[in-house]
């Protein structure tokens, strides 16, 4: 079976600094990929390359066998992206914003509007359809952002910290949604620092550190190989420069 996403020897340099150092990954349909790593590991850079935000990289990126450098628009049409930062044109109302998103994803206006209303209502924003988003809380903005990423029913969904600012009920909804979308055959690329959630929702976990993949497999595989019981511990073992309890002690000592 052809992989949905293929990254071959992916490199990205900022000046003399290499952020990605030869990433090789193949992802198949219906998988939920937990893409994790410490700050500055290269997660966001990978995501930005996949979404077409960064174009000057070395290596190859294929989505459904299509080369991203040759036909970025076809690939963008297949991807739904929820960025880490809730960047919105916030003087617009959520409905105005989502209608724009629908147009840009070549959806029929009526379909986009109907879907936007249904999704926002499911997110408990039914009463705020016509309010300007500059009055919204962080969680409300995140819900609009999630809706914009899913509106055109994409095959691949890239989520960068999608639960940021959401209340507990909304977190349950989104977690459930991720599982159900994967069951429908969608491929989900999930970046997060919330290890417990990554552990629960992911079929496969890719751990990146300093621009290279340091672990790749299901949670059970990783547990078996590393001998640790939680993803948090596996993460710490593979990425921490020193014993974390030592760092905590150093912080505590600084208070003396």
The contact set with another protein (CB under 8 A) reads 14-15, 51-53, 73-74, 76-77, 79, 81, 83, 85, 87-89, 91-92, 96-97, 99-101, 103-106, 132, 134-135
Pick 35 or 97: Cβ nearer another protein:
97
The residue (of 12 and 204) whose beta carbon lies closer to another protein is 12
Least distance CB 109 / another protein (angstroms): 9
In whole angstroms, how close is the CB of 7 to another protein at the nearest point?
17
State the minimum distance, in angstroms, from the CB of residue 172 to another protein.
27
Nearer to another protein, 1 or 255 (CB): 255
Query: Contact, 230 vs 36, CB < 8 A?
Result: no
The nearer residue to another protein, 74 or 224, going by C-beta atoms, is 74
- Write down the least CB distance from residue 31 to another protein, Å: 21
DSSP string spanning the chain?
A: ---SEEEEEEEEEETTEEEEEEEEEEE-TT-EEEEE-STTSSHHHHHHHHTTS----EEEEEETTEETTT-HHHHHHHEEEE-SS----TTS-HHHHHHHHHHHTT--HHHHHHHHHHHHHHTT-GGGTTS-GGG--HHHHHHHHHHHHHTT--SEEEEESTTTT--HHHHHHHHHHHHHHHHTT-EEEEE-S-HHHHHHH-SEEEEEETTEEEEEE-HHHHHHHH--SSHHHHHHHHH-SS-HHHHHHHHHHHT-
Shortest Cβ 189–another protein spacing (Å):
13
Nearer to another protein, 71 or 243 (CB): 71
CB of 53 to another protein, least distance (A): 6
CB-based contact 7:47 (threshold 8 Å): no
User: Is the Cβ of residue 96 or residue 216 nearer to another protein in the bound state?
Assistant: 96
């Amino acid at each position: 079976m052809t992989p949905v996403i293929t990254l071959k020897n992916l490199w990205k340099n900022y000046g003399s600094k290499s952020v990605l150092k030869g990433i090789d990954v193949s992802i198949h349909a219906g998988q939920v990929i937990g893409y994790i790593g410490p700050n500055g590991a290269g997660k966001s850079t990978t995501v930005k390359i996949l979404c077409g935000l960064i174009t000057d990289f070395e290596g190859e990126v294929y989505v459904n066998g299509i080369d991203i450098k040759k036909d970025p628009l076809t690939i963008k049409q297949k991807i739904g992206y929820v960025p880490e930062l809730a960047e919105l044109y916030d003087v617009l109302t959520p409905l105005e914003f989502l209608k724009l998103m629908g147009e840009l994803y070549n959806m029929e206006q009526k379909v986009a509007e109907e879907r936007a209303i249904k999704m926002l209502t499911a997110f408990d924003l039914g009463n705020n359809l016509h309010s300007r988003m500059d009055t919204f809380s962080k969680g409300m903005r995140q819900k609009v952002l999630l809706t914009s990423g899913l509106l055109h029913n994409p095959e691949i969904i890239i989520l960068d910290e999608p639960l940021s600012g959401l209340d507990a009920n909304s977190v349950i909804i989104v977690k459930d949604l991720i599982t159900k979308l994967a069951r429908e055959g969608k491929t989900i690329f999930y970046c997060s620092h919330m290890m417990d959630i990554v552990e629960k929702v992911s079929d496969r976990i890719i751990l990146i550190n300093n621009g290279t993949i340091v672990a790749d497999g299901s949670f059970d595989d990783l547990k078996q190989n590393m001998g640790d019981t939680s993803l948090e511990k596996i993460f710490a073992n593979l990425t921490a420069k020193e014993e974390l309890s030592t760092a905590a002690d150093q912080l505590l000592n600084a208070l003396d």
